[in-house]
Amino acid sequence: MSQNRLLAVLLGVLAALVLVVGGLSAVLLLGGKSEEGGGTTTSGGAGGAGGDAKGVLRIPGSDPVTLDPHIAGDATSAEYIVEIYSGLVTISPKLDIEMDLAEKVEISQDGKQYTFTLRADATFHSGRKVTATDIKYSIERASSKELQSPTAITYLGDIIGVREHFTGLAKDVKGVEVIDERHVRFTIDAPKPYFLAKLTYPTAFVVDKTQIEGNPRNWSRKPNATGPYKLAEWRLGERIVLEANAKFYLGAPKLKEATYLLAGGSALTRFENNELDVASIYVNDIDRARDTKSDLNKVYKAWPQFSIAYIAFNTSVPPFDDPAVRRAMGMAIDRKRVAEITFKNMLQPANGILMPQMPGYTPEDKTLPYNLDAAKAELAKSKYAGKMPPIQITEVGAGAEAAIDTQAFLELWKQIGLNISIRQTDFATFLADQDAGRLQAFNAVWIMDYPDPEDILDVKFHSGSPLNDVDYKNPEVDKLLDAARIEANPARRLEIYRQAEKKILDDAAWLPLYFSQAHVVVKDGVKNWFEPPMVVPRLRFIELAR
């Protein structure tokens, strides 16, 4: 009996061990195999501790939502897309609109017709020539009813016929005509000076009809496109490898390969461990980066970005339907001190709505001046004086406490007699509430899509704009914005935008808080690295010297 039982026990233990060991060896076998498989296709981008990857630029990244340029609406996806694809026009590192697939454009007298001449040497990665038909196909695909691109109307909606095509009323886009193989004409609904800027966005990029029709579901995993880089590898969550397109029409890029490492924890730690060539610096490490005695300081640089953080007031709900309350809150915040103390000046206090480098930007402070007494006086003028309804500001967050700058603002507002509460939600809830107009006031960030004041002043503050999420209506501002849309003289146009900006700031529909900055460290051997204020093609301007 005891013998039998012992035998059974031993067998059981053996079975358990077999289970575990079997699993392990399966792991080892398969793991080993996939390792071999991986070894042949990669060129050692990941690198072990201290291993330098020669000729390969190693950048931290994350998975793009999609590599289909026509449906991408986020900056992460755009970062890869602008390297792989290209369009008729592009944005240079200096933010000028430059010719790309087109070698020249002729604009008609009335400013409504754009005739592009394509480069004779422009080809897809496969070697096929880019023709005017490809341009027409791409615009029609981007604005098709089937694709439901979230960006089509914003970027292509000015072209005659795009809206009809998008809603399924028209089979093609009337405003895009193929003249001959190398000439294509765009007709827009009104003379709009920012139209070319919109065409630099991925929604207007060129795609390969043959490839898409041959593999409609998965083509964008290995796109045949026209940009300076080809997608050589995309391992979800692990890495993306871009390889130089030697036949690129503007010349073969000097940087042969860029590997975006999508996993791997803290980028700065990996930078210091020589696993990455570039990394961002956050507030915990900024003192070290700024310390002139540290190694990081030698490779550290800050770059302004086209994005602004702000508090938005829903101008149709009490008490924010009264401009006096909004203005009072604006006068009570000291953004310079808050930026210095809570963010160690990693963000630049906003002096208006338009950020530095943006056409129309002026360096003087256009925000309501910080003055607690004036704020109190403003509040006393309000129709809500003495009977202030409860105020709640919503922000995205999950901590037990509000963002540190919001806490500082709460203290300042207390000094003018306003007791304001903070509500934190997750991102999805925040968006749902914001879209439904349920938020009384909220913390948000706007990132520019193209370097034109229209992309923020018109898009966020025109009473007819779907993105005007604060229900702001000022007929005078609308009039200015309408005029700027079609003003052909660039200087006069910017002047109109400046006037609109001033009025919006005086109305305090937004409390602009800070302009963001990119704080990065870059390894010595990486030449010409730059952090553009918005997503622009940049890899082909970079060189590796090691």
| Binding of other proteins by 179 (CB under 8 A) | no
Report the interhelical angle of 404-415 vs 335-343 (nearest 10°): 140
- Considering only 154, 259, 314, 382, the residue that binds other proteins (CB under 8 A) is 154
- Considering only 80, 248, 446, 472, the residue that binds other proteins (CB under 8 A) is 446
Residues 461-500 contacting other proteins, CB under 8 A: 466-467, 469
Strand order in the sheet with 229-235: 56-60, 257-261, 239-244, 229-235
User: Which string of x and - marks every residue 223-252 that binds other proteins (by CB under 8 A)?
Assistant: -------------xxx--------------
Options 33-41, 92-100, 245-253, 381-389: segment touching other proteins (CB under 8 A): 33-41
| Binding of other proteins by 425 (CB under 8 A) | yes
Q: Judged by CB, which is closer to other proteins: 236, or 545?
A: 236
Options 65-73, 206-214, 241-249, 409-417: segment touching other proteins (CB under 8 A): 65-73
Q: Are 176 and 186 in contact (CB under 8 A)?
A: yes
- Class of residue 274 by CB neighbours under 10 A (exposed 0-12, middle 13-18, buried 19+): middle
- Considering only 140, 257, 405, 449, the residue that binds other proteins (CB under 8 A) is 449
* CA separation for the pair 413, 418 (Å, rounded): 5
Residues 295-324 contacting other proteins, CB under 8 A: none
CB of 64 to other proteins, least distance (A): 8
Residues 404-423 contacting other proteins, CB under 8 A: none
Partners of 191 in the β-ladder? none
- Considering only 141, 209, 222, 270, the residue that binds other proteins (CB under 8 A) is 270
* CA separation for the pair 480, 483 (Å, rounded): 5
Three-class DSSP category at 243: strand
Q: Which two tokens stand for residue 458?
A: 């018109």
| Binding of other proteins by 283 (CB under 8 A) | no
- Nearest by Cα to 225 from 208, 242, 212: 208
CA dihedral over 429, 431, 436, 439, signed as positive or negative: positive
Q: Judged by CB, which is closer to other proteins: 309, or 332?
A: 309
Q: Judged by CB, which is closer to other proteins: 321, or 469?
A: 469
Q: Judged by CB, which is closer to other proteins: 15, or 120?
A: 15
Q: Are 219 and 209 in contact (CB under 8 A)?
A: no
Residues 181-220 contacting other proteins, CB under 8 A: 217-218, 220
DSSP track, 146-215: TT--SSHHHHHTTBTTHHHHHTTS-SS-TTEEEEETTEEEEEBSS--TTHHHHTTSGGG----HHHHHHS
Contacts with other proteins: how many residues (CB under 8 A)? 76
Partners of 511 in the β-ladder? 311
| Binding of other proteins by 34 (CB under 8 A) | yes
| Binding of other proteins by 284 (CB under 8 A) | no
Q: Judged by CB, which is closer to other proteins: 81, or 329?
A: 81
Three-class DSSP category at 393: strand
Options 36-44, 112-120, 357-365, 489-497: segment touching other proteins (CB under 8 A): 36-44
Q: Which residues does 94 contact at the CB level (< 8 Å), separation at least 6? A: none
Alpha helices in 49-160 (DSSP H): 75-84, 132-142, 152-156
Q: Which residues does 410 contact at the CB level (< 8 Å), separation at least 6? A: 402, 420, 422
As a dihedral over the C-alpha atoms of residue 9, residue 14, residue 20, residue 24, rounded to 10 degrees, the angle is 170
CB of 234 to other proteins, least distance (A): 10
* CA separation for the pair 117, 119 (Å, rounded): 7
- Nearest by Cα to 226 from 295, 123, 356, 116: 123
CB of 49 to other proteins, least distance (A): 5
CB of 321 to other proteins, least distance (A): 22
User: Which string of x and - marks every residue 44-63 that binds other proteins (by CB under 8 A)?
Assistant: --x-xxx------------x
- Considering only 40, 109, 127, 148, the residue that binds other proteins (CB under 8 A) is 148
Q: Which two tokens stand for residue 46?
A: 């990941």
Q: Judged by CB, which is closer to other proteins: 46, or 160?
A: 46
- Considering only 105, 107, 153, 160, the residue that binds other proteins (CB under 8 A) is 153
- Considering only 213, 295, 426, 524, the residue that binds other proteins (CB under 8 A) is 426
| Binding of other proteins by 2 (CB under 8 A) | yes
| Binding of other proteins by 32 (CB under 8 A) | yes
438 alpha-carbon distance from chain centroid = 25
* CA separation for the pair 257, 45 (Å, rounded): 9
- Considering only 118, 159, 184, 261, the residue that binds other proteins (CB under 8 A) is 261
Q: Judged by CB, which is closer to other proteins: 109, or 218?
A: 218
Q: Judged by CB, which is closer to other proteins: 339, or 448?
A: 448
| Binding of other proteins by 39 (CB under 8 A) | yes
- Considering only 179, 190, 263, 404, the residue that binds other proteins (CB under 8 A) is 263
| Binding of other proteins by 395 (CB under 8 A) | no
| Binding of other proteins by 18 (CB under 8 A) | no
The angle formed by the CA atoms of residues 188, 190 and 195, to the nearest 5 degrees, is: 60
- Indicate the pairing of strand 257-261 with strand 56-60: parallel
Q: Judged by CB, which is closer to other proteins: 220, or 382?
A: 220
Q: Judged by CB, which is closer to other proteins: 28, or 283?
A: 28
CA-to-CA separations, 529 to 207, 278, 358, 471, 542, in angstroms, rounded: 28, 9, 21, 41, 6
Residues 68-87 contacting other proteins, CB under 8 A: 68, 71, 73-74
